[in-house]
Structure 1
Amino acid sequence: GKRKKSSRGPAKKLKQTLATTFSCLFCNHENSVICSMDKKLGVGNLYCKICGQTFQASINALSAPIDVYSDWVDACEAVAAEGEKGFVVDDRRGQVDDEEALPASDEEDDDQEEEF
């Protein structure tokens, strides 16, 4: 009779690796943000190779690079929401309070028109 073939072992499962490079929120370049994690110090750092933007967040033993990136996204959204709520952004002067951004009263303009 014929020799029986030995069966192959089970196929190895491919382990998916999580990304460590991300898109920058400020310059919108793909794969320009590098994440480095120091688990002994409990600190995760993000750095954009293009625009130089940096971010630092606290991490724990179970944290992954995507966790640091999501903390950065949340922090940027919080700053944007704060900017919409209480401040008016003026390109010439930076951020000013709503009360200071209001124009001067129209009484001065009325006085000037009466002189003519």
Structure 2
Amino acid sequence: MGKRKKSSRKPQGPKKREPLPTVFTCLFCNHENAVTVKLDKKAGVGTLDCRVCGQKFQCGINYLSAAVDVYSEWVDAADAVAQENEEARPTLSGGRIQASAPRRPPNRQLVENEEDDRRYEGEGIVADDEDYD
């Protein structure tokens, strides 16, 4: 089997590239085609805003940036804020809420004991840091 003759092939033109989108889905209100991105390359600023819920975002761009880049920066920034808020929340572990610091029972006075461990008046609950490891 041989190759086809070059004379039977027709010349192909350049491939047509689809333009990158400039309208996206909003992360907060989930409306499609609600977020528009505008690039000001002279000022080096990309602006994004949702016409439904009013969310706005602005970031720095360079001469290679496109609207997709501004949208992805917005997604990354929203994920980072959600991650920070999740780390600050107490988590459930074994049916108990684990907070960053142990909390005292309400309406109890902290009394120093002779053995240098702290006990609360009333029920004698030990609030020594060594017990919480």
Q: TM-score, normalised by structure 1?
A: 0.68
**In structure 1, which of residues 30, 33, 36 is the aligned counterpart of residue 35 of structure 2?**
33
Matched, 1:72 2:74: yes
Q: Which secondary structure does the structure 1 equivalent of 2:64 belong to?
A: coil
The aligned residue for residue 85 of structure 2 is 83
Deviating 4+ runs (over 3 angstroms): none
Residues 53-82 of structure 1: CA distance to partner in whole angstroms, max 9, x if unpaired? 000010000001000000000000000000
**Counterpart residue number, 1:53:** 55
**Structure having the higher Rg:** 2
Aligned residue identity for 1:26? F
CA deviation after TM superposition for structure 1 residue 26, in Å: 0.4
**Partner secondary structure for residue 74 of structure 1:** helix
Offset, 1:87: 4.3
**Structure 2 gap segments, 5+ residues each:** 1-8, 91-98, 109-121, 123-133
Q: Which residue of 2 aligns with 1:105?
A: 105
Structure 1: which 5+ residue stretches go unaligned?
1-6, 89-96, 112-116
TM-score (norm 2): 0.60
Cα shift at 1:49: 0.9
* 1:24 match: secondary structure: coil
- 1:44 maps to which residue? 46
